[in-house]
A and B are shown apart, each in its own frame.
Chain A
Amino acid sequence: DTEVTQTPKHLVMGMTNKKSLKCEQHMGHRAMYWYKQKAKKPPELMFVYSYEKLSINESVPSRFSPECPNSSLLNLHLHALQPEDSALYLCASSQEVYTGELFFGEGSRLTVL
């Protein structure tokens, strides 16, 4: 299994809602990532987990809250988002953080109304 699976594929939420994005991989990878991508822009790193511990938070607003329940799962909890947070949220994994080869999921397309 060489897939990173993300759910939901599409999400529409209001600014007062609470929702979560989920990501799963079964490749035995020990590093997992959240990236945010706006249309026609490169992916921007948000968070990095290494061995289930948060190792990088790229100064992301607290309305985004990551969670890594175990080595296969990564969640992104969303609360009180703004319309400008609408984007494609990409999860990725890699063997370790010391690699240039990341495996990406198809992404969750988020629209904040």
Chain B
Amino acid sequence: GQSLEQPSEVTAVEGAIVQINCTYQTSGFYGLSWYQQHDGGAPTFLSYNGLDGLEETGRFSSFLSRSDSYGYLLLQELQMKDSASYFCAVRANTGFQKLVFGTGTRLLVSP
């Protein structure tokens, strides 16, 4: 099976930088995605890492180390609207490819 671990909650202030870590155990690993979900809303795609290294998209960056089974999401210049839950998700192949979500990290941004 698969398991993905994230910190349950992270707090930060506006303008700060925060890193949300994700460690995973899975067979047939293909890549790591990150999703944001506001309370009452739908998960929305943020980024995908299929290869080792850093992917940057505006204020958000995502990193993957396949050898360490580890990735992180880096959020810069935090804004109040960034308060949400963040999920890492592994694309794995256990006969069929599927996307399995991590435990989720609740980010609280304060003024």
Chain A residues within 8 Å of B, Cβ to Cβ: 4, 33, 40-45, 48, 55-56, 90, 97-107
Contacts and interface: CB of A to CB of B under 8 A. Distances in A.
Interface of B: 30-33, 41-45, 48, 50, 87, 89, 91, 96-104, 106
Given A41-B104, A101-B33, A56 B45 contact: no
Among B33, B44, B45, which residue has the most Cβ atoms of chain A within 10 A? B45
A99 B96 CA distance: 12
Given A43-B43, A90-B43, A105-B42, A100 B96 contact: no
A100 B24 CA distance: 15
Contacts of A33: 99
A61 B55 CA distance: 39
A100 B43 contact: no
A100 B97 CA distance: 10
A110 to B, nearest CB: 15
Interface on chain A toward B: helix, strand, loop, or mixed SS? loop
Given A45-B98, A45-B99, A56-B96, A100 B91 contact: yes
B98 A56 contact: yes
Given A102-B45, A104-B42, A106-B41, A42 B98 contact: no
Among A40, A42, A43, A56, which residue has the most Cβ atoms of chain B within 10 A? A42
10 nearest interchain CB pairs? A100-B33, A42-B101, A100-B48, A104-B42, A100-B91, A104-B43, A101-B45, A106-B42, A100-B31, A97-B97
A104 to B, nearest CB: 4
Contacts of A100: 30-33, 45, 48, 50, 89, 91, 99
Nearest to B34: A100
